[in-house]
Each structure stands twice: as C-alpha cells, then as structure tokens.
Amino acid sequence: MDKHIRKSANEAAEKIIEWGESQKIETCFERAEKMKPCPIGETGACCKMCHMGPCRLVGKNAEEEVVGVCGASLGTVVARNLARMIAGGTAAHSDHARDMAFTLLAVAEGEAKDFQITDVRKLYRVAGYLNIEFEGRPVIDVAKDVATTLIEDFGRQKGEINYLSRAPKKTQERWKKWGVAPRGIDREVVETMHRTTMGVDHDPDHILLQGLRTALADGWGGCMISTDITDILFGTPQPVKAEASFGIFKEDEVNLVVHGHEPTLAEKIVDVVSEPEMIAYAKSKGAKGINLGGMCCTANEVLMRHGIPTAGGFTNQELGIMTGLVDALTVDVQCIMPAITELSNKFHTKVITTSEKAKMKGAVHIEYDEHRAKEVAREVVRLACDNFQNRKATGSHITDKFPMIAGFSHEYIEYMQGGRWRGSFRPLNDAIMAGRVRGVVGLAGCDNPRVPSTGLHRFLATELIKNDVLIVSTGCGSAACGTSGYLTPEMALENAGPGLREVCEAIGIPPILHLGACVDNSRILTIASAMAAEGGLSDEIGGMPAVGIAPEWMAEKAIAIGCYFAASGVPVIFGGESPVGSSQEVTRIMTEVWIERFRGAMHFEPDPEKMLEIALNYIDNARAALKLRPYEPGRFGTERVLMDMAARREIERGVAKPHIGL
C-alpha cells in the first residue's frame, strides 16, 4: 500500500484536488479533514430515537454499566442504529426498483411510448422465475404480468417475495429456519422502523434478524427487480469497450454528464444526443458535437449497455465540475453531494435536478416524466448546448483517460463459458476446484474521501488478482478500477497470478469483471446461485470460496448490500471504523453467530492488508471445507500449465482418463 498520504490515490483526481487548493476551492476532501467523525456516533453508541435523549452510551464499561434514560443497553442502541441503516439503504434501492417496475407496466399498457421491451429473452427468463406463462402470448401481456407480479412484492403483507425461490434450496431453508425470509419489501422497511423506534424491540439479536430480513428484501427484492427490469427495458449487458477518468471530457464539444442512479432518463438522453437536430443545435452554439459522460451508478448503467464513458465514482463528482468542462450535470437520486450546486457557481456548470423526489437550491429543475421522456431528454440536451457558450477559461484540464471493458452480466458470463446452447458455469467451477482460480471476491461499494480515495480498491484489486482471485466488481468499486486502468484484459497479463491468467486467457475475460451499478450486486447473487447449482463446490451460497469487500463504503445502501450478502452466505469485509464497534455483543452476533446460522458474516476492518488477509483466509478455509485441492501459488506456472493443457487435450480426445484437478 502506498503509505504516502494523499487525498486521492488516483493521479488525475489528485491533480484536480491540488489545483482546487491553489484556487481555494473546497471539496469533500478538505471537508473530510475539517469535519472529524463524531467518535460516539461513529461506533454506533449514540441514540436519538426519542427526545429524552440523544443518549450517548460511553464510558469504560459502557456495555455493562451504561444505559439510556429509558434503560436501553449499548447492544440495543447499536443494533437499532445498524438496522435503521439497512432500512435506509433498502428503501433507496427498492424505491428505484419500484419506479422501474412502474415504467415496465406503463410500457406494457402503452403509456410510455418512448420505451420498448428491448430484451424479450430476458423477459421470458424472468417470467419463468415468476411462473408466468409466456409461450405463445403477446410480449406486452407477458410484460404486464411480470410488472404486476413484481410490484406486488413491494406491498405484499404475507408470504414471501418471489425471487427468494431463485436461491439454492439450502440457502432458502436457512432463511426459513431463522425467520428472515422477507414478506414484502415495504413491509420489512416499515417493520424495521417500527421495531427500532423508542420502546419496542430491545434484544440486539432479534433486532439484527429483522435487519437481515430487510436486507434480504433489498438483495432478492429491490436490487434484483431493478436489475431485471432494466435489462428487459434496455438490454442485458454484454462486454463493451469504453473509457474512464476526466479525460473523457472534450474541449470542443458540449459535455453533458448524467449522475445518480436511475437509468430511465439517462437512456433517453443516450437516444437523443445522436439525433441530427440535437447535433445541429450544438453546432449552432459553436460546439463540434455532443459528448455524453456519466458519474456514479447512472454512469454504470449507460456504460454497461452503450459504452458511454465514465468520469468516475462518488468522490469524482466535484472534481468533474472543477475541470471547467462540464456544461450540464443531470442528477436523479442518491449519492449526489449537495455541495455541487454551490461549487457549480464558481464555474459555468448547470446542475439539473430531474427527479420529483430530489430538488436542490441553486439547481435548474427539469422534471423527468416517463410519458414524455424523450422530450424531457431533449430539453436537458438543449440546456447543456446553450450553456456551452458560457464556458470560462478556469478549470483544471485533465487529459488522463483509460480504456476499459464493462458489461458482464450473469447471462453473458454463462454464455462465454460455452456459447449460446451450452452456456454454464462448469469451466469456472472447474477452475476453482482445480485451484487455478483460488476463489472469487466481490469488490464493491463507494469510494471515500476519508481514505486516499480509490486507493483501497486499487490495493485490493491488484493483490487479489495476484493471488489468483477472480474479482467481480460493481458501483464505485468498478469506477475506481476503471479510472485506474484496471478494467482491461491486459491487466490479467501483467498482474494476475498464473492460474487466473490462464483462465482469463482461455475464456477471453479480464481478471476484474465489471458487473454494473450497485443494484447489480444482485447479479453476484444469481452468479453464486448458478455456481451452487452447477455442482462441485458448495450446494448453497454459503461455503463457497467467495468473499465480499467494500473497503471504502460510506452509504447506508452499502450496509444493506453487505447484510444481504451475509444473510445469503457470503462473508463480507467492510472498511473504516465499525459502526457497531462500541458493542462487543453486536460485533460478535454479526460475525460468529451469523456465520453459524447463515454461513455469512460482516466484519469491519480499516486496515487494507488485514482485509486482504481475512478474505484469503475465508477463501482457503472454504476450499479446505469443500475438500478442494489446497491453493498453491504458482502451481499453474507455465511449464505445468502446458503439461496440463496437453493432458486435457488427451482427455478430450478420449486417449487419457481424467484425474483429480483436470
């Protein structure tokens, strides 16, 4: 790890930050230095569930001796705070998913003329999961049934949300046994808010179980619904080439950036920017054309499907404006820093709010409406063009950019392992069983100005692939890798361990697979389920040589995601100070107790070297428990690889018999 203290580990970002300092322009990086985290709230020990408090449960033996005015123990307070973070995160993903479901319904009912069903195969696949008849029926009718059925998952009062049935049987049994199978998405969020309000649920373990039930509603509900419907409406991603970092902005074109999380308006902007009238309009304002880019997860959505370049993740949003090249920045929902409107005044950038849910003082509001989506998109583009003329000379111009490959969906990963008719997870499972691939890590979550931003992602990405661990990444974790130049097949050649490199070369993939936005963490759940079904590894998600890591997380959504992985059977490691750190009881439940019940856990560990160590330990222990060949670094080095490959050819020709490991 680069011990030299910088604000961002990304060279281009660091240059802009330094330029900003010279101009006395403040960003989240300086604010993070000035605003030290409250040490009581940071570890979960502050309760403000009622106005007899806020109560701060601190002191040497706080866990045993200190209680709130009402008598709440530290464990109760800490568990309640965590459960509320899960509820907040679940609400965010799921409300986004709800809007997607209503858009699908509007399309099916002919009310959203600017949208179509793009991926009928995916629609049928989803209909299959939901037991909806699709053969011989009009596509639009199937879409309507799919939308209606999924919308019911939000308001369902009893029973279970539909997609739980996509998990391996054993995983489902664990959920039943511990009473954490979510009934309806909204119901679990509401119940968590109820149970954590003053004077209701006081047993930390019991509170945390409801937290997990809510988190599962997020993963197998909100996130998965959002991913599926987005695929149905806009296409299931396949690998695309794109570019990342600030150099994606063009000096002589109108730069329009989409930021936030929801793909609907952004998709329409993608459609209209290439319309001749729009390009003519841009030219009439003196620009050579229109250049569309993205930030955060809206970027990931249009990057995965159209190769739209990304300026990066969360901590790049202010820095993007500081290039002085952004003519308009549309924002929808989530992870939008309120600081950007004030900052944009120092430049010429127009910040445009587009969601009826989110307004900002100092922004222009152009409200998205699915009934006239393209019209709204054109209005946005025109405003960006109009503003091109107002560009000032100020700004930190950066030319760095990196090529990247994005767009790995579950469906594509299956396809690339055997083509359209023989697609399966067999080759990947075999590679893990043989020890060519040591295990899989989901590297996800935010980037954070409290550490050298993107640096922990970079460190873990390089170390993990060096150790023959395949990485699947999402959200700002992907953006961190992309803006560092890590999302290319060449990365495998240069940095991956020999076993992983061999697999990457054979299948033709990079060692870090960009799976999409944060809601697309659901793709990791479906991949893990497919690997369990394929056989040879664990027959449930738990017990796989797989780990989740969110080294720089900051959002409540990240906590919801971490907890749904833990409840699904994946050990998860989060960076930073532990938000449950003040309670040993809660910490123990989230690690030791959860691992026993669900085979997943949630650790908090600020030191990246230790994160790596914990992750590799989990992977190696899982390998041992599955009686797989112990991982040996370098075993699949060149000579051995060639011998094995020759042997494999003999086996395929029926000349030799397979032996263990081949």
Using CB under 6 A, list all residues that contact ligand XCC: 261, 296-297, 313-314, 335, 445-446, 475-476, 518, 555, 557-558
What H or E segment, with its residue span, contains residue 255?
Answer: strand 254-260
Rounded-to-integer distance, Cα 592 and Cα 483, Å: 37
What H or E segment, with its residue span, contains residue 365?
Answer: strand 364-365
Smallest gap from Cβ 608 to ligand XCC, in A, equals: 17
Q: Which is nearer to ligand XCC, 296 or 331 (CB)?
A: 296
Smallest gap from Cβ 206 to ligand SF4, in A, equals: 16
Smallest gap from Cβ 52 to ligand SF4, in A, equals: 4
Rounded-to-integer distance, Cα 227 and Cα 237, Å: 10
Choose among ligand XCC, ligand SF4, none what residue 506 binds, the Cβ cut-off being 5 to 8 Å by kind.
Answer: none
Which residue type is seen at 611? Answer: M
Q: Which stretch binds ligand SF4 (CB under 6 A): 41-49, 185-193, 360-368, 411-419?
A: 41-49
Q: Which stretch binds ligand SF4 (CB under 6 A): 65-73, 373-381, 488-496, 540-548?
A: 65-73
Q: Does 661 bind ligand SF4 (CB under 6 A)?
A: no
Smallest gap from Cβ 126 to ligand SF4, in A, equals: 43
What H or E segment, with its residue span, contains residue 561?
Answer: helix 556-568
Q: Which is nearer to ligand XCC, 443 or 612 (CB)?
A: 443
What H or E segment, with its residue span, contains residue 241?
Answer: strand 240-244
Q: Which is nearer to ligand XCC, 142 or 225 (CB)?
A: 225
Name 139's Cβ contacts closer than 8 Å, sequence gap at least 6.
Answer: 117, 120, 123
Question: How many residues in the chain?
Answer: 662
Q: Which is nearer to ligand XCC, 104 or 476 (CB)?
A: 476
**Closest C-alpha among 324, 310, 223 to residue 259:** 310
Smallest gap from Cβ 73 to ligand SF4, in A, equals: 9
Q: Are 282 and 290 in contact (CB under 8 A)?
A: yes
Smallest gap from Cβ 39 to ligand SF4, in A, equals: 18
Q: Which is nearer to ligand SF4, 56 or 382 (CB)?
A: 56
Q: Does 53 bind ligand SF4 (CB under 6 A)?
A: yes
Rounded-to-integer distance, Cα 261 and Cα 512, Å: 22
Tell me how many degrees the CA angle 38-43-45 measures, rounded to the nearest 5: 90
What H or E segment, with its residue span, contains residue 329?
Answer: strand 328-331
Q: Does 49 bind ligand SF4 (CB under 6 A)?
A: yes
Choose among ligand XCC, ligand SF4, none what residue 55 binds, the Cβ cut-off being 5 to 8 Å by kind.
Answer: ligand SF4
Smallest gap from Cβ 229 to ligand SF4, in A, equals: 39
Q: What is the DSSP string of 105-169?
A: HHHHTT--TT-----HHHHHHHHHHTT---TTS-HHHHHHHHHHHHHHHHH--SS--GGGGGS-H
Q: Are 49 and 80 in contact (CB under 8 A)?
A: yes
Choose among ligand SF4, ligand XCC, none what residue 52 binds, the Cβ cut-off being 5 to 8 Å by kind.
Answer: ligand SF4
Token pair 């790890």: residue: 1
Smallest gap from Cβ 227 to ligand XCC, in A, equals: 13
Choose among ligand SF4, ligand XCC, none what residue 532 binds, the Cβ cut-off being 5 to 8 Å by kind.
Answer: none
CA distances to 124, 141, 217, 371, 609 from 145, rounded to whole Å, are 11, 6, 21, 20, 49
Choose among ligand XCC, ligand SF4, none what residue 54 binds, the Cβ cut-off being 5 to 8 Å by kind.
Answer: ligand SF4
Considering only 44, 68, 293, 569, the residue that binds ligand SF4 (CB under 6 A) is 68
CB atoms within 10 A of CB 252: 10
Rounded-to-integer distance, Cα 56 and Cα 172, Å: 39
Choose among ligand SF4, ligand XCC, none what residue 452 binds, the Cβ cut-off being 5 to 8 Å by kind.
Answer: none
Rounded-to-integer distance, Cα 297 and Cα 312, Å: 9
Q: Does 52 bind ligand SF4 (CB under 6 A)?
A: yes
Q: Does 62 bind ligand SF4 (CB under 6 A)?
A: no
Q: What is the DSSP string of 590-615?
A: IIIIHHHHHS-EEEE---HHHHHHHH
What H or E segment, with its residue span, contains residue 460?
Answer: helix 455-466
Considering only 35, 69, 280, 645, the residue that binds ligand SF4 (CB under 6 A) is 69
Handedness of CA 290, 403, 330, 12 (dihedral sign): negative
Smallest gap from Cβ 579 to ligand SF4, in A, equals: 16
Q: Are 213 and 182 in contact (CB under 8 A)?
A: yes
Q: Which is nearer to ligand XCC, 44 or 313 (CB)?
A: 313
Smallest gap from Cβ 604 to ligand SF4, in A, equals: 23
Choose among ligand XCC, ligand SF4, none what residue 70 binds, the Cβ cut-off being 5 to 8 Å by kind.
Answer: ligand SF4
Q: Are 81 and 44 in contact (CB under 8 A)?
A: yes
Q: Does 39 bind ligand SF4 (CB under 6 A)?
A: no
Q: Does 198 bind ligand SF4 (CB under 6 A)?
A: yes
Q: Which is nearer to ligand SF4, 78 or 287 (CB)?
A: 78
Q: Which is nearer to ligand SF4, 120 or 198 (CB)?
A: 198
Q: Which stretch binds ligand SF4 (CB under 6 A): 62-70, 209-217, 231-239, 343-351?
A: 62-70
Q: How many residues bind ligand SF4 (CB under 6 A)?
A: 14
Smallest gap from Cβ 63 to ligand SF4, in A, equals: 14
Considering only 70, 139, 151, 656, the residue that binds ligand SF4 (CB under 6 A) is 70
Token pair 């699709």: residue: 134
Smallest gap from Cβ 198 to ligand SF4, in A, equals: 4
Smallest gap from Cβ 547 to ligand XCC, in A, equals: 18
CB atoms within 10 A of CB 205: 14
- Phi and psi for 409 in degrees, rounded to 5? -100, 165
Smallest gap from Cβ 315 to ligand XCC, in A, equals: 8
Site string for ligand SF4, 146-185 (x = CB under 6 A): ----------------------------------------
**Which residues contact ligand SF4 by CB under 6 A?**
47-50, 52-55, 68-70, 72, 77, 198
